[in-house]
Amino acid sequence: MRKTMMMAGAMTAAALLVGCAAQPLPVESAAAMPSAYTLGAGDKLRITTFGFEEFSGEFMVAADDSLAMPMLGTVPVRDVTPDQLSRKLEAALGAKGLVRQPRVSTEVTKYRPYYISGEVNRPGKYDFASGLTVMQAVADAGSFTYRAKKKMVFIKRAGAPAEVAVPVTASAPVLPGDTIRVVERYF
């Protein structure tokens, strides 16, 4: 009788645990990713104004998301793509009468870093490389610790209000300025 009661209790507990299985967290889809890279603080740019060396050079995007350009002053670049910045500079150079029919090219030479924290062997700031995935970022940080939850990480995109859960197996892309948090597993 006692054995039957214990068996019934164990079966009830198992049924309750199955019913309480956690629902998967929302996962950021590729469709939610920005389609074009926008500039931000920490990006290093090479700006070339064809035929005018005085308006060309290497520039760093400042903490207030702006560039200090010769003869143009401060140029805001928040949420601007490199191509849009080229058009913006062409318009400014032409409007001020500094260059007639300006042609400007903007290239990102060094992206702002990404950050990884939590259950990795070497948390910190790392240089971004094009095509970087979560697995590669974890590898850069010396891999997971033995306590790490290895199937899910949390990513806060630069400028986003909150972090999202992202499965590690999804080869989710990492973007410049992202903060990746690797959490501890419970068991």
Give the chain's mean pLDDT. Answer: 83
Residue type at position 87 = R
Residues 114 and 179: beta-carbon distance below 8 Å: yes
Reported as type and span, the H/E element at residue 91 is: helix 82-95
User: What's the N-to-C CA distance of the chain in angstroms?
Assistant: 33
Residues 114 and 133: beta-carbon distance below 8 Å: no
Domains of the chain plus CATH, in order, are 44-110 (3.30.1950.10), 112-187 (3.10.560.10)
Taken in order 125, 130, 132, 136, the sign of the CA dihedral is negative
**Pairing mode of beta strands 104-110, 114-118:** unpaired
> What is the pLDDT tens value at each position of the chain, 187 positions in all?
544 444 444 444 444 333 333 333 344 443 344 457 889 999 999 999 998 998 899 999 999 999 999 889 999 998 899 999 999 999 999 998 888 899 999 999 999 999 999 999 999 999 998 889 999 999 999 999 999 999 999 999 988 899 999 998 767 899 999 999 999 988 7
3-state secondary structure of 149: coil
Query: pTM to 2 decimals?
Result: 0.69
Model pLDDT for residues 77-87, shown as the tens digit of each residue: 988 999 999 99
The token pair at 106 is 């903007």
Position of tokens 């039957």?
4
The pLDDT assigned to 11 comes to: 44
